[in-house]
A and B are shown apart, each in its own frame.
Chain A
Amino acid sequence: MPEQYDVIIIGAGVVGSLVARALSRYQLRLLLLEKHSDVAEGTTKANTAIVHAGYDAKPGSNKARLNVAGNRMYDNLCAELDAEFDRCGTFVVALSEEDLVTLGSLYKRGQQNGAAGLRLFNAEETLRHEPSLTKEARGSLYAASGGIVDPFQLGIGAAESAVINGVELMLETEVTGFLFEHNRITGVTTNRGDYYSRWVVIAAGLWADDLMHKAGLDGFAINPRKGEYFVLDRRSSEVVHTVLFPCPTPVSKGIMVTRTVHNNVLLGPNANTIRDKGDLDVSAAGLDEVWSGALKLIPGLAKRDIIRSFAGLRAAGSCDDFVIEIPGDPAGMVVLAGIESPGLTAAPAIAEEVVEMLREAGLELAPNTHFNPERKAVRRFAVLTRREQEALIATDPRYASVVCRCEMVTEGEIAAACHEVIPARTYDGLKRRTRLGSGRCQGAFDLPLVIGIMARELGISPLEITLKGGHSRFLARGTKEVDA
């Protein structure tokens, strides 16, 4: 008799990981499968990282309901998961008379959705809060309940918390199909073999439609919509204190200017529908669009502050709302699809909803009395007090060696990240856990050192260290060696 899980969750993005964590509060055998070499490698790592207040979505939609519910859970969740979260407030800025009308209807919609802390500001009040904003600003919709989060720590924290509470996580494990008995799903096939379970949750982000097709569900498609971004150097206080949106258009919330929890400035995203789900390239035209869009809000931006660009893909579904359902045919499956923005905000509420759906569908949920809600991130040496720094150095002298000069990341932190609950196994994984290489030199200084430290900590050759798994190795061979 093969091993039998109660629930298999496909996809360790923020949604799948929070679902796994929510289910780990009960006595269940849980398996979380992720095709990438790390968790939070999909859309969870490449978005605007805003915890929306909830005035965007149509009243009555899943998006509206779960956005508002998810937003309320953030303080507690981020405290438990040790992820940085700042309820700094958000502004939608009107640049014309027409925009002022839009603000009015957003305000009304927000009230209907139950979004908290909404206020309409005139031009003067708006500029007082954000003095670098264009003088064209006519007014704004302020949302005190809006905020910003560290999506990496949230995603990784959710998965680690799940693992701490008994969820089995398998990385580099891709679900290739389903096992059926009559019209009931009984498990999944993967590149590492078959796994059996009573329930399967599809939380596969951009790939949800492919898996739905494999399960025999047709009629739903994901049309990825790319958003490109610039990241600016950490001098945000001179640019923006909170989150600035322009007035939304039918396809997107527009190109915004926002502070990140680490005090960088983020510009973007634009919105272009593409075909290829693996296409995260940035284009010259796209970046131009982002830059000129951002200038409309903050005219004083300087190109020399740019340190990086990136792109993320919205998992835009063909039906315009989050799909959250148990289809029935085949039985034994929960589908979470089309989880585009505000998916990050809604994720904790989606997870609770999945628990309730499974309970109603008959899964017995006996509380796991050992459930531990706390998870700790790698301690960031740079933000500790003197005394805490000294104490940390006393436990491990490697905390005194700074490896990343821009973000002041120490060797102690790198070593710790390599031995976490879900260890960093790639340079990017390390970066998301420690902020290594995310400053203005973008790793030029630390890379040669980090390759050596990672090789030692992970017990592998420097030649095997990768940027992001797969074939993304940094080094080709030793010097003086001859290629075969």
Chain B
Amino acid sequence: MRLLEADVLVIGSGPAGLAAAYQARVSGAKRVTIIERNREPGGILPQCIHNGFGLRIFGRDLTGPEYAQRWLYQAQEAGVEIMTRTMVQSITPDLRITASGNGTLVDIKAKALILATGCRERPRGALGIPGARPAGIYTAGTAQRLVNIEGYMPGRRFVILGSGDIGMIMARRLTLEGAQVMAMAEILPYVSGLRRNLVQCVRDFDIPLYTSTTITEIRGRERVESVVMSAVDEHWQPIKGTQRELACDTLLLSAGLLPEIELARLAGVKLDPVTGGAMIDERQATNVPDIYAAGNMVHVYDLVDSVSESALRAGCKAAEACSGHEQPCEPLLPLVAGENVHHVVPQYVHIGAPRELIIELRVKLPLEEPAVVQLTAGDKLITSERLRYARPSEMIALRLRPEQYQQIGQAPCLRAAVVRASQIKTRG
């Protein structure tokens, strides 16, 4: 058994964990340790061998492994210790952590904890697809790991359910590896991943894409032999007579990511029923003292740069907390989702804190026209920003500056909304 003491303990070494640990060290925490269950650090990034990472933070279009490596160098240079192949098994609210790995159990006492556990993919059971239960059904991320890390093709003829980013990226990857991608089916009337992936991974490779379509049956006793695809109505119900059987040997699922919150739950962290992730304030602090959360375990981000940025905030605040820095005493105001907003993070803000804060949100329905994101307190407009469009696949960020706090007054909450720009004009 090993005993470990840390000022800041970070769980997870993905783009959130590496950035959080780096920042915690730079902000003055002495002993900063990352625990990672995988063989290699980087979280999901080592298997994301495509580009599109780091434009904002590093000003360069990097691949996943490159992006991870840059953060890894920075973290190691700053003196962060990384324990790979180590799995946290339990966390108590007073920050006693037990883990195991590398042939031993580890007991850890930390002054502050940053949860950077990322997210996981929605599996078949949660999607409730009827039919048989043969081999050949994988989440897109599992398939990505098999192909890019382990070096194996999980099938020859693929159908992809869902149009999430990993699914679209895998459509291209599998095609390049000589497999056939027969179809991509998305239950929504629009693609759920990023526009650039739709163009570069699906359209450029002539992958047949069907929106308002789902898989209603899986066939094949031992290995997938075919799937049945059906068009759906506006309530997502299959439309009779539209079924079409597609021969394939593999079904990939790219139908949503869920924050990985098992450890957060053990620690007593409050969860947001909409995001499924940890509830935080503007410092990335959870309801449990000295536990912070960052990255996809708070809410699922669209870009890795934003994940790392949320972690920089958490790293800084966790370092302050363990050096006995004064904690905010301003009133805590809930921030809630208003018109056409699916969810908003942070869920709470300290009003009057002397720093700019960033509000992140996603819309419910796409607006393919100029739109405005607004923050209101009661009937007072606190701040707003114009957008060229608003899509559920792309996170929207809004800045709230300290001088704007004063206008909030006695309102019980802050509300974020995204409306058509034209709507605002007519309102005068």
Contacts and interface: CB of A to CB of B under 8 A. Distances in A.
Q: Are the chains A and B members of one assembly?
A: yes
B221 A287 contact: no
A431 interface: no
A462 B152 contact: yes
A287 B217 CA distance: 13
Interface string B113-148: 000000011011110101111111011011001110
Given A281-B130, A389-B105, A393-B105, A483 B87 contact: no
A477 B153 contact: yes
A451 B155 contact: no
A468 B135 contact: yes
B128 A309 contact: yes
A442 B136 CA distance: 14
A105 interface: no
A402 B101 contact: yes
Interface string A437-469: 000111111011001100000000011001111
Which 5 pairs across A and B sit closest by C-beta, in order of nearness? A397-B103, A467-B135, A308-B125, A402-B87, A472-B135
A474 B154 contact: yes
Contact of A444 (B139, B150, B155, B249): B139
B89 interface: yes
Nearest to A286: B130
A424 B130 CA distance: 28
A401 B105 contact: no
Contacts of B135: 466-468, 472-474
Specify the main secondary structure of chain B where it touches its partner: mixed
B153 A478 contact: yes
A477 to B, nearest CB: 5
B137 to A, nearest CB: 9
A444 B121 contact: yes
Contact of A307 (B123, B131, B216, B262): B123
Give the bracket for the number of chain B residues in contact with chain A. Answer: 35 or more
Given A402-B89, A467-B135, A306 B125 contact: yes
Interface in A262-299: 278, 280-284, 286-287
Nearest to B100: A400
Given A401-B100, A401-B101, 8 more contacts: A280-B132, A281-B217, A400-B103, A401-B87, A442-B124, A448-B145, A472-B135, A478-B153
Interface string B82-123: 000101010000000000111111000000000000001101
A448 B100 contact: no
B42 to A, nearest CB: 15
A476 B150 contact: no
A182 interface: no
Nearest to A382: B89
14 contacts: A281-B130, A281-B132, A283-B130, A287-B130, A306-B126, A309-B128, A400-B102, A408-B89, A441-B121, A444-B138, A447-B146, A475-B152, A479-B152, A483-B156
**Most chain B C-beta atoms within 10 Å of own C-beta, residue among A390, A472, A481:** A472
Given A402-B37, A472-B222, A479 B139 contact: no
A390 B130 contact: no
Contacts of B85: 401
**Most chain B C-beta atoms within 10 Å of own C-beta, residue among A231, A451, A466, A477:** A477
Interface of A: 231, 278, 280-284, 286-287, 303-304, 306-310, 382, 386, 389-390, 393, 397-398, 400-402, 405-406, 408, 410, 440-445, 447-448, 451-452, 462-463, 466-483
Nearest to B221: A278
Contacts of B241: none
A448 B120 contact: no
B1 interface: yes
A442 to B, nearest CB: 4
B304 to A, nearest CB: 20
Given A304-B126, A444-B123, A468-B135, A390 B105 contact: yes
B177 interface: yes
Nearest to A386: B105
Nearest to B176: A479
Contacts of A398: 103
Contact of A452 (B128, B132, B150): B150
A478 to B, nearest CB: 6
B409 interface: no
A406 to B, nearest CB: 8
A469 B141 CA distance: 24
A310 B129 CA distance: 11
B147 A479 contact: yes
A61 to B, nearest CB: 34
B86 to A, nearest CB: 9
B125 A307 contact: yes
A471 B123 CA distance: 22
A445 B221 CA distance: 23
A405 B37 contact: yes
B125 A448 contact: no
